[in-house]
Structure 1
Amino acid sequence: MPIDTEHAGQPSVVRRILFIALAVLALLTVYQVYKSRSGYQLQVIRTSTGWGYDVLNQGRLILHQPTIPGAAGDRGFANEIQARQVGERVISKLKEGKGLPTITPDELRDMNISIP
């Protein structure tokens, strides 16, 4: 059986197409991972009245919430877990981009946040 010396050592057309397809898939995967990364960060903070949270975007403080939002007075959250839960809800709303990330008393009740 004769050996085709003219095309020896050259990748076949199918291999080239597969390589290009894999490269495109890799680039799309990297783009999706980069796109899904959020610049928002949550920091739970201890305050003189309980717990609160800060929301940062790209390392910059954009929201300082030392008290329970929407609750009368200046009471903080009863514990770190509650502050984190509400802070995460706020970040979720920020990611949706639907205006201000307000938290209603009904939402607080739905999250079992005790409102003094």
Structure 2
Amino acid sequence: MKKTKTRIFIASALFLMIVAVAITFIKRGHSYDLQVFRTGNGWGYDILKNNRVYIHQPFIPAIEGETPFSDRESARKTGRLVISKIRKREIPAVSKEEIDSILTGK
């Protein structure tokens, strides 16, 4: 009888440990971070995935030409939008309308 209780206790403890480890790994997923940087005449951003550059964006996306962001805040807002799309499993492309909204503050 005592051996049975001990075995049940050990099995229960192992099961709980396995569940705890599984939950930790499931919640962990990928870590995305944003770094805004100064370019020669403006601003850009990097999206980091697990501390490695995943997207390097030195220019405003969705507009013609190679124009950097004029201010740090616009680059930051655009980078945050891209991370939000990635986390929602959406295509991380930014539309002209989204850029216009960020740049005009609407």
User: Could you tell me the TM-score, scaled by structure 2's length?
Assistant: 0.69
Check the 8 A contact 2:30/2:49 in 1, yes or no: no
Any idea what the Cα deviations from partners look like across 1:56-89, whole Å, max 9, x if unmatched?
1001111000000011111111110110000000
Structure 2 unaligned spans of 5+: 1-19
Match among 78, 85, 92 for residue 93 of structure 1: 85
What is the match of residue 53 of structure 1?
45
The reply to whether residue 70 of structure 1 matches residue 82 of structure 2 is no
Find the structure with the greater CA-based Rg.
1
Check the 8 A contact 1:49/1:74 in 2, yes or no: no
The 2-side partners of 1:96 and 1:37 are apart by 12
AA aligned to 2:99 is L
Check the 8 A contact 1:42/1:55 in 2, yes or no: yes
Shift of residue 49, structure 1, vs aligned partner: 2.9
What is the match of residue 109 of structure 1?
100
Give 3-state SS (helix, strand or coil) of 1:113's partner: helix
Q: Compared with structure 1, are the counterparts of its residues 80 and 53 closer, same or farther at alpha carbon in structure 2 (3 Å cutoff)?
A: same
Count of aligned positions: 104
The 2-side partners of 1:82 and 1:107 are apart by 11
State the identity as a percent.
Answer: 37
User: Could you tell me the TM-score, scaled by structure 1's length?
Assistant: 0.63
Check the 8 A contact 2:30/2:50 in 1, yes or no: no
Check the 8 A contact 1:68/1:77 in 2, yes or no: yes
Structure 1 unaligned spans of 5+: 1-25
The 2-side partners of 1:52 and 1:41 are apart by 14
